[in-house]
Amino acid sequence: MKLKSALGFSIACGVLAAMPLTASAQFAKKEDAIKYRQSAFALTGAHMNRIGAVVKGEAPFNAAEVQKSAALIATLSTLPWEAFGPGTEGGKAKPAVWKEIDKVKAGADKFMKAAADLNTAAKSGNLEQIKKAFGATGQTCKACHDDYRDK
Amino acid sequence: MKLKSALGFSIACGVLAAMPLTASAQFAKKEDAIKYRQSAFALTGAHMNRIGAVVKGEAPFNAAEVQKSAALIATLSTLPWEAFGPGTEGGKAKPAVWKEIDKVKAGADKFMKAAADLNTAAKSGNLEQIKKAFGATGQTCKACHDDYRDK
């Protein structure tokens, strides 16, 4: 695997092996990677909160707005993972992220799948389906946050 | 305009009048709005840099990667503006933003149009078209940064 080793990938880093080979070349500095993933998570959280307010009945159900948020979350869900490459420790991410990168990758896959399902549910315009898919997505967020994000 | 005044919109705020009526209700705290717009700009900047590296010949031209970045930039280009509502002063934004909100809105419109054009150019797969559209988009970024962003 010449290409991989040329890019400094470790065989143990399953998450990176599954990523585009250009991934770790995207961040010149560790701080860039941290800012990138934090920005993706911040926008994701903001739009999860918007849908959450609708699901909880705290905001009116505007199907178009929910669809816009869900589409954005689905897009954003794919972004952060390439920014957890070797040498990018820091921010709110616990060191465990880099020790258990396969578990993180599995959690990321669940989140991306749930976000795609939420997007599909939002397109249906059916609030009950949205509630269910939103709850499932929130669980995938929480699972990783509990284990891998500093309070 | 009962709805508008109910949401606390000022008639002077042309930018908000053109936004969805739910806009200013999305941020419970000023800090949330600042974080939201900064996150959108950070991701936009990161992906502008990725296309920029290709345009400058510093990175190989991978059409699929450029398309992904351009699509993301087009989506992200629509996000920050609702987070410049009254009372959200701060971050890197100069106070002039809120004094010249119509100019800011005009700049935002130019950027969104340029980002949509960049997305179209990226889909063409033609590097010369991409270079041209990228340059035009970068100019719209710079125009607002020069006037409204602190160094």
Q: What share of chain B is helix, strand, coil (3-state, %, to 5)?
A: 70, 0, 25
| Chain A residues closer than 8 Å to B79 by CB | 43, 72
Mean pLDDT of chain B: 87
Residue A46 Cα, gap to closest chain B Cα (Å): 7
Chain A hits for B26, Cβ within 8 Å: 46, 50
**Taking the CB of residue A106, how many other CB atoms lie within 10 A of it?**
15
> Distance from A31 to chain B by nearest Cα, in Å?
12
H-only helix segments in chain A: 2-6, 14-17, 30-55, 63-76, 96-99, 101-124, 127-148
With residue B121 as reference, give the H or E element that holds it: helix B101-124
Q: Is residue B128 pLDDT above 50, yes or no?
A: yes
**Residue from B141, B73, B72 nearest B107 by CA:** B141
Q: Which domains does chain B have, with CATH numbers?
A: 2-148 (1.20.120.10)
Residue A1: its pLDDT value, please? 31
Q: Nearest to residue B86, comparing CAs of B2, B149, B15?
A: B15
pLDDT band at residue B93 under the 50/70/90 scheme: very high
Provide block-wise average pLDDT over 10 residues at a time, chain A (151 residues): 33 39 70 98 98 97 98 98 96 97 97 98 98 98 96 86
Return the residue of A nearest to B33 by Cα: A46
Q: How far is the C-alpha of B50 from the C-alpha of A27, rounded, in Å?
A: 10
Q: Which residues of B touch A32 (CB under 8 A)?
A: 46
Q: Can you tell me which residue has the tokens 């990523």?
A: A19
Element (H, E) at B64: helix B63-76
Q: What is the mean pLDDT of residues B62-88?
A: 97
Task: Give the per-residue pLDDT at A151.
Answer: 86
Separation of alpha carbons B36 and B137, rounded Å: 21
**Amino acid making up residue B121:** A
